[in-house]
């Protein structure tokens, strides 16, 4: 089971994970491909993703924060504890804006 989060491009989003582990949690990202990205692992955020940050509030609450969300941030985010047990899952859907220009000849 996972939570569905629907956001718009350029918004910020916070994904929550509740676990008894105080550290050593892991966040993964899957964009429906053959590979899974590790976006946060044992206190280290992926340097290729500077818009990601993590926050721990208290002993049991951890969050993954994505600022300035972009279309390529869409996908499945999973939070795991230090034993490899999934504690939270989010399907992030990012809605973008498309501009259409209608031109009419004035003749």
Mean pLDDT per 10-residue interval, the chain, length 107 residues: 89 90 79 71 66 78 90 90 88 78 58
Predicted local confidence at residue 82, as pLDDT: 82
pLDDT the model gives residue 69:
92
Residue 104 lies in a domain: no
- Which pLDDT value is given to residue 96? 83
What pTM was estimated for this model as a whole? Answer: 0.79
CA distance 64 to 56: 9
Instruction: With respect to residue 106, please indicate whether it lies within any of the assigned structural domains.
Output: no
Residue 107 lies in a domain: no
Number of domains comprising the chain: 1
Task: Give the burial class of 94: count Cβ atoms within 10 A of its Cβ; 0-12 exposed, 13-18 middle, 19 or more buried.
Answer: buried
The residue range of the domain holding 51 is 3-95
Residue 65 within a domain: yes
């Amino acid at each position: 089971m996972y939570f569905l989060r629907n956001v718009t491009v350029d918004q910020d989003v916070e994904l929550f994970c509740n676990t008894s582990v105080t550290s050593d949690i892991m966040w993964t990202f899957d964009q429906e491909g053959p590979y899974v990205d590790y976006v946060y692992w044992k206190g280290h955020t992926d340097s290729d993703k500077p818009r990601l940050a993590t926050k721990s509030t208290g002993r049991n609450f951890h969050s993954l924060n994505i600022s300035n969300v972009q279309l390529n941030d869409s996908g499945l985010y999973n939070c795991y504890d230090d034993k490899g047990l999934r504690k939270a899952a989010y399907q992030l859907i990012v809605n973008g804006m498309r501009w259409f220009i209608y031109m009419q000849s004035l003749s």
